[in-house]
């Protein structure tokens, strides 16, 4: 076996010492450069054209997604995977954003957020205004997790907190939701930073807002807006959805 290989190796060695080596090297470098350029171009093209729809379970993200894209009402189920589609801003046909609807289920949400956060140009955080009183802590916790994420802090995508389900009479107003969230996030940043650190933690948890002062959404590096909307619409399933505020904001952001 080895004897058979030896003459081949010798031949190879002899060949390599020729001018062929140089041409091989040049070819390799050319390939590498093209590869790098291609990656760079691809990165530029696909960078951050996505608008993520986040929120707790049953906040109305999937219905909102369906309404924005097709204008019709659809019965939806709990999402277990993401859905994405291209949304054209109605007046200006040239600009478009990719709407991505992520599942709200606790076991899935962080995993999908990890996948899509780098591509996010804007985030729509959908809040169920009716169940808000009950779910304040969970909403705040998820929002906190989104806000302290290092990628999000670095890219600072515009944040819209959409207070959904305004067609129900018991829905809380956007102002109230804002106040409660600020209070809750204030408490959360104290408790979270005091929580035991994890093994191999790289640095401490990011600080949200300014220390010493009560938390305020204006302290965040990104623009935050609150908007009221209703995916179902006040006329029930047949009617139009009440999404003006949301659509206007999308136009601004795109």
Partner 1 sequence: SILTAPLPQERGGNNSFTHEALTLKYKLDNQFELVFVVGFQKILTLTYVDKLIDDVHKEFRDKYRNEFQQKGALGLLNGTFDFKDDFMRLLREAEESSKVRAPTVMKTFEQSLKSQKTVKCMIETRGEKPKEKVKNKKNKGSKKDGTEAVAVPSKASAADKQHSAAGDKEELTKDEILQKNREEFFRRHMKAGEKSRSPKPDAQKEKGKKPRVWDLGNSNAKVLDYSNSATNGSAEACPVEEFDPDMALGDKNREPGRLYDLEYESDDEVEEEKVVQNPSKPSAKKGALGGMFGMLKGLVGSKSLTRDDMDPVLEKMKDHLIAKNVAAEIAVQLCESVAKKLEGKVMGTFTTVTSMVKQALQEALVQILQPQRRVDVLRDVMDAQRHRRPYVVTFCGVNGVGKSTNLAKAGQDPGPQGWGDGISFWLIENGFSVLIAACDTFRAGAVEQLRTHTRRLNALHPPESHGGRTMVQLYEKGYGKDAAGIAMEAISYARNQGFDVVLVDTAGRMQDNAPLMTALAKLIAVNAPDLVLFVGEALVGNEAVDQLVKFNKALADHSMAQTPRLIDGIVLTKFDTIDDKVGAAISMTYITSKPIVFVGTGQTYCDLRSLNAKAVVAALMKA
Which letter, b or e, does each residue of 109-145 get, where b requires 16 or more Cβ atoms within 10 Å of its Cβ?
beebbeebbebbbbbbbbbbbbbbeebbeebbbbbbb
> What is the closest distance, in whole angstroms, from the C-beta atom of residue 110 to partner 1 in the complex?
6
> What is the maximal distance between C-alpha atoms in the chain?
88
CB 233, min distance to partner 1, A: 17
| Residue 182 burial (10 A CB sphere; 0-12, 13-18, 19+) | middle
Q: Of 81, 90, 91, 94, which one interacts with partner 1 (CB under 8 A)?
A: 81
Q: Is 137 in the site for partner 1 (CB under 8 A)?
A: yes
Separation CA 175–CA 29 (nearest Å): 59
Question: Rounded to an integer, what distance in angstroms lies between the CA atom of residue 113 and that of residue 103?
Answer: 9
List the one residue from 22, 194, 203, 236 that touches partner 1 (CB under 8 A). 194
84 near partner 1 (CB under 8 A) = yes
Report if residue 195 touches partner 1, rule: CB under 8 A: yes
Integer Cα distance of 25 and 58 in angstroms: 58
CB of 69 to partner 1, least distance (A): 6
| Residue 6 near partner 1 by CB under 8 A | no
Using CB under 8 A as the criterion, which residues of the chain lie in contact with partner 1 when the complex forms?
A: 57, 66, 69-70, 72, 74, 77-78, 80-81, 83-85, 103, 105-108, 110-111, 137-138, 141, 187-188, 190-192, 194-201
């Amino acid at each position: 076996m080895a004897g058979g290989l030896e003459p081949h190796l010798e031949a190879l060695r002899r060949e390599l010492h020729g001018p062929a080596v140089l041409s091989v090297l040049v070819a390799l470098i050319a390939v590498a450069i093209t590869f790098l350029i291609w990656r760079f171009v691809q990165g530029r093209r696909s960078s951050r054209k996505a608008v993520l729809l986040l929120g707790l379970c049953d906040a109305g993200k999937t219905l909102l997604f369906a309404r924005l894209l097709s204008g019709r009402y659809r019965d939806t189920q709990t999402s277990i995977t993401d859905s994405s589609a291209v949304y054209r801003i109605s007046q200006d046909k040239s600009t478009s954003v990719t709407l991505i609807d992520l599942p709200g289920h606790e076991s899935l949400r962080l995993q999908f957020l990890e996948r899509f956060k780098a591509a996010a140009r804007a985030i729509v955080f959908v809040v169920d205004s009716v169940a808000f009183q009950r779910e304040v802590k969970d909403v705040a916790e998820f929002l906190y997790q989104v806000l302290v994420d290092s990628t999000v802090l670095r890219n600072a995508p515009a944040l819209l907190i959409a207070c959904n389900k305004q067609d129900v009479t018991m829905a809380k107003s956007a102002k109230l939701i804002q106040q409660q969230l600020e209070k809750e996030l204030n408490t959360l940043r104290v408790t979270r930073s005091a929580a035991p650190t994890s093994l191999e933690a790289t640095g401490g948890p990011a600080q949200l807002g300014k220390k010493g002062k009560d938390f305020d959404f204006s302290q965040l590096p990104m623009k935050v807006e609150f908007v009221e909307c209703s995916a179902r619409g006040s006329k029930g399933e047949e009617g139009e959805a009440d999404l003006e505020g949301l659509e206007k904001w999308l136009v601004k952001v795109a």
